[in-house]
Amino acid sequence: MIIVSQSRRRIFNLFLFVFSAGVAAVGVFILYLYFNPSLSDLFWDLFTGVRNQRLLYAFFAFLIAIYPLILFSRSKPAVEYKTVTVLKCYGCDYREVRDFQRGDYVFKKIGTCNACNSERYISAIYSVPMSKIEEKEEY
Ligand SMILES: [Zn+2]
């Protein structure tokens, strides 16, 4: 579930980024037209003041392009996750949670149990937010 929500957020971020880049490109294009007007633009500008309108549009385009960035800068820092491995024993209630180590996989056998000499194994591997671990350690 954690992975799904993260990838969804990533897609959303990507969408926002593309949207911002697109709007910014429109703004640049409008600015370009403002500084390099065609002759007909200059002609119509005598009557309509269309060039100043363009400057305003460009301004709004940049504003819209920058807005998501402002949102991001305000958003909370990304939650850090820690991967842990749960060790269990076939023979007794032994249970240990330790940091994930390279090569760990579920049902991997990890030596014998100190208490009952049965085989110990990895029963689960999962990620937990760092904040939860800190909370737990307080108890
Ligand atoms: Zn045991």
Q: What is the pLDDT of residues 32-59, one digit of tens each?
A: 877 777 777 777 777 776 667 778 888 8
pTM (2 d.p.): 0.43
Phi, psi of 90 (to 5 degrees): -70, -25
Residues around the ion ligand 1 (C-beta < 5 A):
89, 91-92, 94, 113, 115-116, 118
Q: Using the mean position of ligand 1's atoms as its centre, give its distance from the Cα of residue 120 in Å.
A: 7
67 with 11, same domain: the answer is yes
Q: Using the mean position of ligand 1's atoms as its centre, give its distance from the Cα of residue 119 in Å.
A: 7
Predicted pLDDT at 135:
59
With respect to residue 96, please indicate whether it lies within any of the assigned structural domains.
Answer: yes
Domain count, the chain: 2
Question: Within 10 A of 46 (CB to CB), how many other CB atoms are there?
Answer: 8
68 with 96, same domain: the answer is no
> CB–CB of 86/122 below 8 Å?
yes
Structure tokens at 3: 């992975």
Q: Is the pLDDT of residue 4 over 80?
A: no
Q: Using the mean position of ligand 1's atoms as its centre, give its distance from the Cα of residue 118 in Å.
A: 5
27 with 86, same domain: the answer is no
CA distance 72 to 66: 10
Q: Using the mean position of ligand 1's atoms as its centre, give its distance from the Cα of residue 122 in Å.
A: 13
70 with 110, same domain: the answer is no
Confidence of residue 133 (pLDDT cuts 50, 70, 90): low
Predicted pLDDT at 47:
72
109 with 86, same domain: the answer is yes
Supply the DSSP string of 69-130, one letter for each residue.
HHHHHHSPPPPPEEEEEEEEESSS--EEEEE--TT--TT-EEEE-TTT--EEEEEEEEEEEH
17 with 51, same domain: the answer is yes
| Torsion sign across C-alpha atoms 27, 29, 30, 35 | positive
Mean pLDDT over the full length of the chain: 82
